[in-house]
Every structure is written in C-alpha cells, then in structure tokens.
C-alpha cells in the first residue's frame, strides 16, 4: 500500500502552491460572490497554464493528465481558501466533450479552457431538490423545430449573478417519465426572458432564483440527445467526485481555529485540547476518504459510495470544527464577521447543497450495504 | 406528584404566547436585520405593562409575584418569536431579583417599580470583564470609598442592554487584599451617571436586536447608598443570582428550539419529494422524534429547577443541569430543523437561519456549558464522603 503522490505529482503540487502565493488573500472559497472579479482573474491565470484542462484529452487542447492532478490542484486551492473548482471546466466541459456537437465543442471548449466563460448550474427547482427527477421547467420545441421555448423556475443557483452562461436541466418529455424526460441546454444568461433574482443566505452571500419566461434556446444549444440528460448529468457528476469535497478545506478550518484558540490564550485548556484531538482525527478521516475517492477513480472503480461517505464525513467535519470554537473560543468567536462565526455560518450549507446528508446516507445504505428500499 | 401547571401559570403562559404571536413574531425578522430600536423598546414597554419584567417580584414593589415557573414559561413563549426580546426580559427580571434579594427597603422601593413598570426600558447585569468571564472572581473593576461616595474605575464587557438599561447592577473589587471572590461588592449604577460611558453595541452573530455593550467606568462617582447588600459580600450574590438567570436562559433556548422544530414539523407535512410528503420518510420522522424528546426532557429539567427555586430550596445544581441540557439540545434542534428545510433552511427568507444564529449564544452566556459541568460535577463530588 502506498498513499503517497509520485515525484511528478509532488512537483506539480509545489508549482500550484507557488502559483497560489499570489492568491492567498482572495478568500473566495467560503464566499465567492463578493470577490468574483478576483476569482475570475485567478481562473484566467490558471487558464494561461492550461490548468483548467488538466485531465482533458489533448485533442481538445488538454494536458491529458490523470485525476490526481486535478485533485492536487483543487485541494491546494481549497486549502488556500481561494475558490471552489468551477463548473465550466468540469461538469460542462466534460459533458460537451462526451456528448456535445462539433459546433458546441468549437464554441465553448477553447473559452472554457482559458477561463473566459463561466456557467451556473440550473438543476434544482422549488419543488425539486433531493428529488431532482421531478423537476418541471418545460422546454418545448417550437413548431418550426428551430428553438426550444423554456418556461419555469430554478432555485438556489450558486453564483448565477456573476456567471455568463446557464447549464439548464429541463423537461422535454412527460412529467411521469421523471429522469427519462429531461434534456440539457446551454443558454447565454443575457437571453431575453431570463431573470436572476437573489436569495440572501445566512452567510451574507447569496443564492439565486432563475426564472424562464418564454426563453428561446436554439436547438443547436441542446447538449446530447433529447430526453437523454439523466445519463449525462450522472456521468458528469461521476467525473467530478474527486474534487467536489477536497479535504484541504477542513485541514485549513482546523488550522485557522487552532490559531484562533491560541490567540485567545486557550491553547492549554484541557477541555479544548481534548476536543481538538477529536477534530484532528475527523480531519484525517476526511483526508483518507478524499484519497479513497481519488483512488477509486484512478482505478476506474465506481466511486459513488466512496464519494457519498466522503461527503457525509467531510461536511459534518466542516460544521463540527467551527461549532467547537463557538463553544469554547470565548464570546469574540460570536462577533459578526470574525472567523469562527463566519466559517460556522458558511458551513451550514455543506450538509445540504450538492445532495443532503440524508440522501448520502441512503446512497450508502442502498448501494454499499445492499439494504433494499 | 403533580406535574400540571396552576391556573395562574397557564394564564401567564397564554398571555406571553399571545403577545409573542401578535406583537413579536411579525417584527422579529425585521429586528434581526435592521435592529429597529423603536419597535424593540416599544415591545419591552408593553411587556412591562403585562407584568413580564418582574414576574418573580413581590406585588408591593410592582411585580407580578407569579413565581419562577411562570417566569420560565413566559420566557419560553417570548423566545419562540423573538430571542432578543426574551433575553432582555430575562436579564431585566434577574436584575430585579438581585435587588429584591439583597437590596434595602429604600433601594427596593426606588428601583423595583421602575424596572417592573417599564419606566426603565431594561435592567443591566454588569459582571463580565475582558479577563474575567468564566471566572468573574478575577475581576479588576475597583470601587474605592471617598467620603460619602464610591468611585468606580474599570470596564465591563458584553453587557446586555447596555445602551438602554435604566440601572445596572455592577460588581467591583472593594478589598484589594482579600482572596479572589472575597473582596467584591455589588453596586447600583444608574444609566447616565457621569463617569459611565457605554460603548457601541457589538455586531453579533445572533440576537442582534438586543444590544450588548462595554461599560467604561472612569472615576464614576456613586453615593454610599448605591452599595447593594453587604460590603465584600457581592460575589456570593452574583453566583447565586446567576443560577436563577440560568433558568431564564435555558427557558429561552427551549423556546427557540421549539420554534425551529415546530416550523420544520409543519414543513415536513407540506413539502413533497419523490412523490410523497417528507413526513413519510422514517429518517426524518426519527429525527423529529429525537429532537422533541430532548426538548421535552429539557422542559422538565427547567420546571424542576424552577420548582426548587420557588420552594426556597437549593437549586444551583438543578439550574445548571437544566441550562446545560436545554441549551445544548436547543442548538441541536435548530440545526436539525434547518437541515430539514434543505436549501430553504439556508436562505434568509425562512426563519431557520435566524433561529440557528440566535440559539448559538445560549450555551455560552450566563455560564458556558463547561462551567455548568464544573458546577454540576463539583456539587456531585462534594457529596462523596
Ligand atoms: C448553498 C447551496 C448551493 C446550492 N447550489 C445549487 C446550484 O448551484 N444549482 C442547483 O441546481 N442547486 C443548488 N443547490 C440546491 C441543492 O442541490 C438542494 O438544496 C438540495 O439538493 C436539497 O434539496 P431541497 O433544498 O429541495 O431539500 P428537500 O429535498 O426538500 O429536502 C428537505 C429535507 O428532507 C430530507 N429528505 C429529502 N428526501 C429524503 C428521503 N428520501 N429520505 C430522507 N430524507 C429526505 C433532506 O435531506 C432534507 O433534510 C444549492 C443549495 C445550497 C444550500
Ligand atoms: C451576547 C452576550 C450577552 C452577554 N450578556 C452579559 C451580561 O448581561 N452581563 C454579563 O456580566 N455578562 C454578559 N455576557 C458575558 C458572558 O456571560 C461571558 O461571555 C461568559 O460567561 C463566558 O466568559 P468569557 O467570554 O470570558 O469566556 P472564557 O471564560 O474566556 O471561556 C472560554 C472557554 O473556556 C472554557 N472554560 C473556562 N473555564 C473553564 C474551566 N474551569 N473548565 C473548563 N472549561 C473552561 C469556557 O467554557 C469557554 O468555552 C454576555 C455575553 C454575550 C456574548
């Protein structure tokens, strides 16, 4: 058993860390909205190094590297608190490469690779969160067969206020067909009939609602076959499992909170020491589970269950670390905008967004253990 | 054994519930965002008129003489709608109780009616200092006798209602040579006394409508008659009164926890995913069952502590157990309830994120959970011979 990275991988890690020296202060991981211009600039700089296309095949201008490189990159970026991995170079680009038309490949892949265009994920709806297959936003082909006309509402879209394009899951088939009646579309956010409105969140950032009112989307902007979206989004998700919840985030949470406790002069408190010992083992658990997901992907194993377990542990650890400091870090820990309470408020979403803990547990019990139901 | 409430207790609970629903709930969200001080103070005034600012104060001083159980019930009901209002009410009651417990007749007649009637918007409890939080016996604020006066110097931090309290109970060292805790006295300092400056309200995570301030005493001169209780006997009083305050904070936490779970319970019966109500999923049913069981246990612990206090028995351990359990379980309840709302739990349009922020402080102020554990275990070990 060897859980170390290779020499080349470690050299890349060093290169990433050097690159991030210039971006250490962005703080766009916890809350991207307020610092989007800086995050965008960093993505462009990554694009210059072709890091947004690390695992893309060379025919699309990619570097053809293994998953470990993406893991290293986004884990370091998470640790540096700079940003989360962008949707564009992951879910969107990988789906286009697999299912997109030549025109879509030519239009979007070069610009995504250089960090020029960014996408917002428009899947969830007010009535369809955990139960995504129940979504109702309609995409109806017009009589001429040239356009789809979109009507409906999406809910909780991260970053939609700043993105250029929307990556939309909509119903082209019957409601009762559930996941088998859905198609994927790319749509410029400026298209007539689209309204993005903010939903302020507990961390003083925002999510968004996205409304579609007779929005015309050319047929050429449908990705993959009509009613064939379910498989595409599943595969896209599978492509991203190793970078969805990088443990660098919780490692950094822990380090920041240790600094906080020491600065408060609480480092020698026995209760605090006991709790921190517990938390550091949770962080290591998240690190190991993160690597396990990576290993599964590198070996071509299905990583669904590993990823679900990782999400459960990782996201609870995200919450346990600041919660502990709110408990023990003195009242300054609760002052608005100070690090412990800020991280805590942000961490609340982690067990909800991207599939709730309850859904992850049902994935584990069904798929890993074979429990029926 | 009879666990039922008296008619009077039920009446007070109903009254607080009605006020919370009709007056507090409609403005709570706005108070959280904008801290509308006028509306907040207006509500405190109305609460005083309803008798909620001196629930355990004798009627001859303008109090409700309703007892500790009624106090606990009222605070829980208020907190279901607005934790900021509930904490201000709880602390004001605690201040009135200190004065009733150790004040002389003149002090009681002067201050209690003002607190109970709402002439004072609130009372302030000035114990914590920057280097004396969990261990207030190490406080540095000093009171020095000067002729017929006392002169106060030092700072108190995180004092609830600093901005608008009409009177503060303030603890200060009066005997430098005594061991920690032995040379501390208690004073009454009116808001606006020259030499007392109030810092700007802290920007807090939760309970935002209630102001929390630093009090700066710079050669603050108060008359000899401002000494509350016996000289150098103040620390014992502080410790005793905090035990009563803990019943208030535990009751407050219970209210927030119940509000969160009640909201989530309703939500589960309305929202559908996978073609059925969320309430049909057993995973969620069991979460609901666990949290309500814990909150009910918290309620009983609080009632027990309140009962012992009302009977005049030692209730310190019971109050600490009740505060520890109620505040921890209320925190859990708020997080579970937020989780049950999914994405809607995270956005400000729904009240769950406010509940989760508001409940957070309850396991910290009036003695952190660790301090409650210290008290409980010390009492337990003391009884081992
Ligand atoms: C910060 C944040 C960012 C997000 N970003 C995006 C984005 O960019 N794009 C996008 O499309 N969406 C986004 N979402 C939406 C997210 O994917 C959904 O919120 C999530 O899938 C949960 O759905 P829901 O909110 O409808 O909750 P619901 O599905 O209504 O769930 C409510 C509660 O019921 C539980 N539950 C549901 N079904 C079951 C079951 N079968 N068994 C047991 N328990 C169950 C859930 O665990 C939860 O506790 C984001 C959400 C958040 C909070
Ligand atoms: C919103 C708000 C309102 C407040 N209102 C008032 C008020 O009206 N009047 C007032 O006087 N004060 C008030 N306080 C202060 C509050 O009571 C103190 O913050 C609290 O007692 C904790 O003290 P500290 O902050 O100094 O923490 P510390 O004493 O520094 O404690 C830090 C951590 O160490 C732990 N710890 C300390 N000692 C021990 C030990 N022996 N064993 C194990 N663990 C230990 C604590 O549990 C805590 O987790 C308020 C505070 C806030 C935030």
pLDDT in tens, A234-273: 999 998 999 999 999 999 999 999 999 999 999 999 989 9
Q: Based on the fold, state whether residues A283 and A348 are members of the same structural domain.
A: yes
Query: What sign results for the dihedral spanned by CA atoms B363, B365, B366, B371?
Result: positive
Q: Based on the fold, state whether residues A267 and A222 are members of the same structural domain.
A: no
Q: Does B106 touch chain A (CB under 8 A)?
A: no
The length of chain B is 385
The β-bridge partners of A187 are A166
- Provide the number of CB pairs (under 8 Å) joining chain A to chain B: 98
Which residues from A are below 8 Å from B353, CB to CB?
A: 201-202, 348
Radius of gyration for the alpha carbons in chain A, expressed in angstroms and rounded: 21
**What CATH code is carried by the domain that includes residue A281?**
1.20.140.10
Distance between CA atoms of residues B260 and B264, nearest Å: 6
Q: What are the boundaries of each domain within chain B? A: 7-120, 125-232, 236-384
Q: Residue A312 is encoded by which pair of tokens?
A: 């459960």
Distance between CA atoms of residues A3 and A298, nearest Å: 13
A99 occurs within a structural domain: no
Give the DSSP H or E segment for A197: strand A194-200
Alpha helices for chain A (secondary structure H) = 7-20, 36-48, 67-79, 93-99, 102-113, 229-239, 241-244, 248-263, 270-298, 304-328, 339-347, 357-363
Contact B330, B362 (CB under 8 A): yes
Q: Based on the fold, state whether residues A215 and A258 are members of the same structural domain.
A: no
Burial grade of B225 (CB within 10 A; 0-12, 13-18, 19 or more)? middle
The Cα-based distances of B382 to A284, B241, B312, B317 in angstroms read 40, 21, 21, 12
The best mutation among A189, A233, A356, A363 to test binding of ligand 1, ranked by most ligand atoms within 8 Å of the C-beta, falls on A356
Per the CB < 8 Å rule, is A326 touching B360? yes
Give residue B1's pLDDT.
78
| B356 vs A207, A330, A348: nearest CB | A348
Local confidence band at A38 (pLDDT 50, 70, 90 cut-offs): very high
The best mutation among A129, A211, A319, A354 to test binding of ligand 1, ranked by most ligand atoms within 8 Å of the C-beta, falls on A129
CA within 13 Å, CB half, B191: 22
Local confidence band at A330 (pLDDT 50, 70, 90 cut-offs): confident
Boundaries of domain holding A204: 119-227
* A93 Cβ contact partners less than 8 Å away, ≥ 6 residues apart: A53, A56, A60, A108, A109, A112, A113
* Closest chain B residue by Cα to residue A334: B205
Higher pLDDT, B240 or A188: A188
**What CATH code is carried by the domain that includes residue A215?**
2.40.110.10
Distance between CA atoms of residues A79 and A29, nearest Å: 9
Give the DSSP H or E segment for B328: helix B316-340
Q: Which of the four CATH numbers 1.10.287.3510, 1.10.3720.10, 3.40.50.720, 1.20.140.10 does domain B236-384 have?
A: 1.20.140.10
Please write the tens of the pLDDT for every residue from B137-167: 999 999 999 999 999 999 999 999 999 999 9
* Ligand 2 binding pocket includes A269 (Cβ within 6 Å): yes
Query: What sign results for the dihedral spanned by CA atoms A228, A231, A234, A239?
Result: negative
Alpha helices for B161-228 (secondary structure H) = none
Contact A345, A313 (CB under 8 A): no
Distance between CA atoms of residues B66 and B244, nearest Å: 15
Distance between CA atoms of residues A134 and A181, nearest Å: 10
Give the DSSP H or E segment for B84: helix B83-102
A109 occurs within a structural domain: no
Distance between CA atoms of residues A206 and A317, nearest Å: 23
* B310 Cβ contact partners less than 8 Å away, ≥ 6 residues apart: B67, B68, B69
Closest CA to B24 of B78, B61, B68: B78
Q: Does B284 touch chain A (CB under 8 A)?
A: yes
Residue A92 DSSP label? I
Please state, as a whole number, how many other Cβ atoms lie within 10 Å of the Cβ of residue A262: 11
Q: What CATH superfamily is the domain B125-232?
A: Butyryl-CoA Dehydrogenase, subunit A, domain 2 (2.40.110.10)
A106 occurs within a structural domain: no
Please, what is the angle between helix A339-347 and helix A248-263, to 10°? 150
Q: Based on the fold, state whether residues A172 and A74 are members of the same structural domain.
A: no
A97 occurs within a structural domain: no
Which residues from B are below 8 Å from A155, CB to CB?
A: 343
The average pLDDT across A269-287 equals: 94
Render the burial of B181-216: b for 16+ CB within 10 Å, e for the rest.
bebbbbbbbebebeebebbebbebbbbbbbbbbbbb
Give the DSSP H or E segment for B238: helix B234-270
Local confidence band at A127 (pLDDT 50, 70, 90 cut-offs): very high
* pLDDT value at A319 more than 70: yes
Contact B153, B217 (CB under 8 A): yes
Local confidence band at A373 (pLDDT 50, 70, 90 cut-offs): low
Q: Residue B339 is encoded by which pair of tokens?
A: 């989780």
Angular region, B181: left φ>0, alpha ψ -120 to 50, beta rest: left
* pLDDT value at A1 more than 80: no
CATH of domain B7-120: 1.10.540.10
pTM: 0.89
Query: What is the SS3 assignment for A36?
Result: helix
As a whole number of angstroms, the longest Cα–Cα distance in chain A is 74
Per the CB < 8 Å rule, is B343 touching A337? no
Q: Residue B247 is encoded by which pair of tokens?
A: 């019943």
Q: Does B270 touch chain A (CB under 8 A)?
A: no
Classify the complex by whether its ipTM is higher than 0.90, answering yes or no.
no
Question: In the block, which residue shows the tokens 């995570």?
Answer: B205
A194 occurs within a structural domain: yes
Distance between CA atoms of residues B320 and B301, nearest Å: 10
* Closest chain A residue by Cα to residue B344: A156
Pocket of ligand 1 (CB under 6 A): A 121-124, 129-130, 156-158, 207, 349, 352-356, 358-359, 362; B 271, 273-274, 278, 281, 283-284, 339-340, 342-344, 346
Which residues from B are below 8 Å from A127, CB to CB?
A: 272
pLDDT of chain B, 385 residues: tens digit per residue? 788 999 999 999 999 999 999 999 999 999 998 878 899 999 999 999 999 999 999 999 999 999 999 999 999 999 999 999 999 999 999 999 999 999 999 999 999 999 999 999 999 999 999 988 888 999 999 999 999 999 999 999 999 999 999 999 999 999 999 998 899 999 999 999 999 999 999 999 999 999 999 999 999 999 999 999 999 999 888 888 889 999 999 999 999 999 999 999 999 999 999 999 999 999 999 999 999 999 999 999 999 999 999 999 999 999 999 999 999 999 999 999 999 999 999 999 999 999 999 999 999 999 999 899 999 999 999 888 6
How many structural domains comprise chain A?
3
Distance between CA atoms of residues A371 and B332, nearest Å: 28
Which residues from B are below 8 Å from A345, CB to CB?
A: 205, 357
Give residue A365's pLDDT.
87
* pLDDT value at A337 more than 90: no
Please write the tens of the pLDDT for every residue from B217-250: 999 999 999 999 999 999 888 888 889 999 999 9
Alpha helices for B136-204 (secondary structure H) = none
Residue-averaged pLDDT of chain A: 95
Distance between CA atoms of residues A329 and A322, nearest Å: 9
Q: Based on the fold, state whether residues A65 and A138 are members of the same structural domain.
A: no
Local confidence band at A23 (pLDDT 50, 70, 90 cut-offs): very high
The average pLDDT across A118-143 equals: 97
The length of chain A is 373
Contact A182, A229 (CB under 8 A): yes
A234 occurs within a structural domain: no
Long-range contacts of A42-47 (CB under 8 A, 24+ apart): A42/A82, A42/A83, A43/A83, A43/A86, A43/A115, A43/A118, A44/A114, A44/A115, A44/A116, A45/A19, A45/A115, A46/A19, A46/A115, A47/A113, A47/A114, A47/A115, A47/A116
Closest CA to B263 of B345, B327, B331, B206: B345
> Any idea what the Cα angle at residue A346 is, between residues A345 and A349, rounded to 5°?
105
Q: Based on the fold, state whether residues A279 and A223 are members of the same structural domain.
A: no
Distance between CA atoms of residues A329 and A308, nearest Å: 31
* Catalytic machinery residues of B: 366
* A225 Cβ contact partners less than 8 Å away, ≥ 6 residues apart: A99, A183
Query: What is the SS3 assignment for A125?
Result: strand
Q: Based on the fold, state whether residues A270 and A364 are members of the same structural domain.
A: yes
**What CATH code is carried by the domain that includes residue A65?**
1.10.540.10
Render the burial of A180-201: b for 16+ CB within 10 Å, e for the rest.
ebbbbbbbebeeeebebeebeb
- The residue ranges of DSSP E strands in B274-374, in sequence order, are 276-277
A35 occurs within a structural domain: yes
* Ligand 2 binding pocket includes A332 (Cβ within 6 Å): no
Closest CA to B48 of B110, B98, B119: B119
* Closest chain B residue by Cα to residue A133: B274
Q: Based on the fold, state whether residues A171 and A142 are members of the same structural domain.
A: yes
The best mutation among A308, A349, A353, A373 to test binding of ligand 1, ranked by most ligand atoms within 8 Å of the C-beta, falls on A353
Long-range contacts of B46-52 (CB under 8 A, 24+ apart): B46/B19, B46/B118, B47/B19, B47/B78, B47/B85, B47/B89, B47/B118, B48/B116, B48/B117, B48/B118, B49/B117, B49/B118, B50/B15, B50/B16, B50/B19, B51/B12, B51/B116, B52/B16, B52/B78, B52/B89, B52/B93
């Amino acid at each position: 058993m060897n859980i170390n990275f290779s020499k080349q991988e470690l050299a890349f890690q060093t290169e990433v860390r050097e690159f991030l020296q210039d971006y250490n202060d962005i703080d766009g991981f916890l809350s991207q909205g307020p610092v989007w211009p800086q995050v965008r600039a960093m993505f462009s700089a990554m694009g210059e190094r072709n890091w947004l296309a690390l695992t893309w095949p060379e025919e699309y201008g990619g570097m053809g590297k293994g998953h470990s490189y993406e893991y290293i990159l986004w884990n370091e970026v998470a640790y540096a608190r700079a940003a989360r991995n962008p949707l564009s170079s992951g879910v969107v680009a990988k789906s286009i490469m697999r299912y997109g038309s030549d025109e879509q490949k030519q239009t979007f892949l070069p610009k995504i690779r250089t960090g020029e265009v960014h996408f917002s994920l428009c899947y969830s709806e007010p009535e369809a969160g955990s139960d995504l297959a129940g979504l109702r936003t309609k995409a109806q082909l017009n009589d001429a067969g040239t356009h789809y006309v979109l009507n409906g509402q999406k809910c909780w879209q991260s970053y939609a206020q700043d993105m250029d394009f929307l990556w939309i899951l909509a119903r082209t088939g019957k409601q009762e067909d559930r996941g088998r009646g859905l198609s994927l579309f790319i749509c410029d956010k400026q298209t007539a009939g689209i309204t993005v409105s903010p939903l302020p969140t507990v961390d003083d950032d925002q999510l968004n609602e996205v409304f579609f009112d007779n929005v015309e989307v050319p047929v050429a902007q449908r990705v993959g076959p009509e009613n064939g979206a379910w498989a595409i989004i599943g595969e896209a998700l599978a492509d991203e499992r190793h970078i969805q919840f990088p443990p660098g985030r919780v490692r950094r949470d822990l380090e920041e909170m240790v600094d906080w406790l020491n600065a408060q002069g609480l480092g020698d408190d026995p209760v605090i020491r006991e709790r921190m010992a517990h938390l550091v083992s949770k962080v290591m658990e998240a690190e190991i589970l993160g690597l396990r997901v990576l290993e599964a992907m590198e070996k071509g194993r299905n990583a669904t269950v590993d990823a679900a377990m990782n999400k459960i542990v990782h996201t609870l650890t995200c919450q346990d670390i600041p919660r502990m400091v709110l408990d023990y870090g003195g009242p300054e820990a609760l002052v608005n905008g100070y690090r412990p309470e800020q991280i805590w408020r942000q961490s609340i979403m982690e067990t909800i967004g991207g599939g709730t803990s309850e859904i992850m547990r049902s994935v584990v019990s069904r798929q890993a253990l074979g429990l029926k139901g | 054994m009879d666990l039922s409430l008296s008619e009077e207790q039920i009446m007070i609970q109903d009254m607080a519930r009605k006020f919370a629903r009709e007056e507090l709930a409609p403005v709570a969200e706005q108070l959280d965002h904008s801290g509308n001080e006028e509306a907040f103070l207006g509500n405190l005034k109305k609460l005083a008129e309803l008798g909620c600012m001196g629930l355990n104060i004798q009627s001859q001083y303008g109090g409700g003489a309703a007892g500790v159980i009624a106090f606990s019930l009222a605070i829980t009901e208020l907190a279901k709608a607005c934790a900021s209002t509930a904490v201000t009410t709880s602390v004001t009651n605690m201040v009135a109780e200190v004065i009733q417990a150790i004040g002389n007749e003149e002090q009681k007649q002067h201050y209690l009616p003002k607190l109970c009637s709402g002439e004072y918007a609130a009372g302030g409890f000035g114990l914590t200092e920057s280097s004396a939080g969990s261990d207030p016996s190490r406080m540095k604020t000093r009171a020095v006798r000067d002729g017929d006066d006392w002169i106060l110097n030092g700072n108190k931090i995180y004092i609830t209602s600093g901005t608008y309290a009409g009177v503060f109970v303030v603890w200060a060292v009066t005997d430098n040579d005594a061991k920690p805790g032995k040379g501390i006295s208690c004073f009454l300092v009116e808001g606006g006394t020259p030499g007392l400056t109030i810092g700007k309200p802290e920007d807090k995570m939760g309970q935002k409508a209630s102001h929390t301030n630093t009090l700066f005493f710079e050669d603050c001169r108060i008359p000899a008659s401002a000494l509350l209780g016996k000289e150098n006997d103040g620390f014992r009083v502080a410790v005793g009164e905090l035990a009563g305050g803990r019943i208030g904070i535990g009751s407050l936490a219970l209210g927030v926890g119940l509000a969160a779970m009640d909201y989530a319970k309703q939500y589960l019966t309305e929202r559908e995913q996978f073609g059925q109500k969320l309430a049909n999923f057993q995973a969620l049913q069991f979460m609901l069952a666990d949290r309500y069981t814990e909150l009910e246990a918290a309620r009983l612990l609080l009632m027990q502590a309140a009962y012992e206090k009302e009977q005049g028995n030692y209730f310190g351990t019971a109050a600490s157990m009740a505060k520890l359990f109620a505040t921890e379980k209320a925190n859990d309840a708020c997080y579970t309830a937020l989780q049950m709302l999914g994405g809607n739990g995270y956005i400000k349009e729904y009240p769950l994120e406010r509940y989760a922020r508001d409940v957070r402080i309850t396991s910290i102020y009036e003695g952190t959970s660790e301090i409650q554990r210290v008290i409980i275990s010390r009492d337990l070990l003391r009884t081992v011979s």
